Amino acid sequence: MLNVFPVPAFKDNYFWVIDDGRFALVVDPGDATPVIAYLAQKSLTLAVILITHHHADHVGGIGGLLDWCDDRKIFVYGPASENIPHCTHKLDDGATVNIISPALSLQVIDVPGHTAGHIAYHAESQGWLFCGDTLFAGGCGRLFEGTAAQMRASLGKLAALPAETNVFCAHEYTLANLLFACAVEPNNAALRSRVERDTATRERGEPTVPSTIALERATNPFLRWDEAEVKLAAARASSGTFGPNAPADLVFATIREWKDNF
């Protein structure tokens, strides 16, 4: 039986810690301090670090964690095409990461867009997806190094995972994302009930993540470029540059740009 816990950090980051009661792995530790505090409190031994992309709020804690572990060998997995500090295992699309303790097998999915080499980790047997800053609850990452077409293709791969897959993203951006989603799709009933649910969750001080692929497909405008209301909203946002039957990449790019200025 594995536990998954979001260690909160900075303003809105989550560092996901998975453990079997004895050994732990952490995804995207941007800061060592809160991770060490959590591991110490639970008497867990760190074994593995998984990295999705090179941004400081995802890799900044690697060095501190290795120091804390002293001479013990820690495996650090990261994207092959990005410069990840202390990386021991460089991963390409389609690679499998087999971890013994905690026992977990993860498939690597290339998801360029937010950064050029961003990867996601899919633990199929658990139904878990660790997607960093690519797919967020109700939104998606900004395009820092990739094109809108790349990001749409990346999100398309994640959307094609089984509906019940749990989506563990790296930030608590959900309510702001949903506010924007409502501007795109004011008539989406599933979205309206999600807003109510997630608002109540935040009022209780709890994380809104993980969500599920099914919920993201139903409510996340960045997975819904084929929906009539999203196409229409994009056409309106383009102030008449194109109509409601624009190609999907143009719809997606317009929605992404609109969100940047929202």
State the binding partner of 216 from Zn ion, Fe ion, none, CB within 5 to 8 A by kind: none
Q: Of the two residues 133 and 172, which places its CB atom closer to Fe ion in the complex? A: 133
For helices 174-184 and 248-260, give the axis angle rounded to 10 degrees.
Answer: 120
Chain residues that interact with Zn ion, rule: CB under 5 A: 55, 133
Separation CA 237–CA 235 (nearest Å): 5
CB of 52 to Zn ion, least distance (A): 8
Residue 212 β-bridge partners: 166
C-beta separation of 155 from 131 below 8 A: no
CB of 106 to Fe ion, least distance (A): 20
What tokens were used for 28? 């995207």
SS3 243: coil
Q: Of the two residues 116 and 183, which places its CB atom closer to Zn ion in the complex? A: 116
State the binding partner of 28 from Zn ion, Fe ion, none, CB within 5 to 8 A by kind: none
Residues 6+ apart with CB under 8 A from 262: 179, 180, 183
Q: Which of 214, 168, 201, 184 is nearest to 14 (CA)?
A: 168
Q: Of the two residues 57 and 110, which places its CB atom closer to Fe ion in the complex? A: 57
Q: Of the two residues 134 and 254, which places its CB atom closer to Fe ion in the complex? A: 134
CB of 191 to Zn ion, least distance (A): 25
CB of 114 to Zn ion, least distance (A): 6
Which residues have a catalytic role annotated? 53, 55, 57-58, 114, 133, 171
C-beta separation of 43 from 104 below 8 A: no
Q: Of the two residues 77 and 234, which places its CB atom closer to Zn ion in the complex? A: 77
Separation CA 163–CA 121 (nearest Å): 16
Residue 110 CA: distances (Å) to CA of 43, 115, 117, 184, 247: 34, 11, 7, 28, 23
Separation CA 37–CA 85 (nearest Å): 22
Chain residues that interact with Fe ion, rule: CB under 5 A: 57, 133
CB of 130 to Fe ion, least distance (A): 13
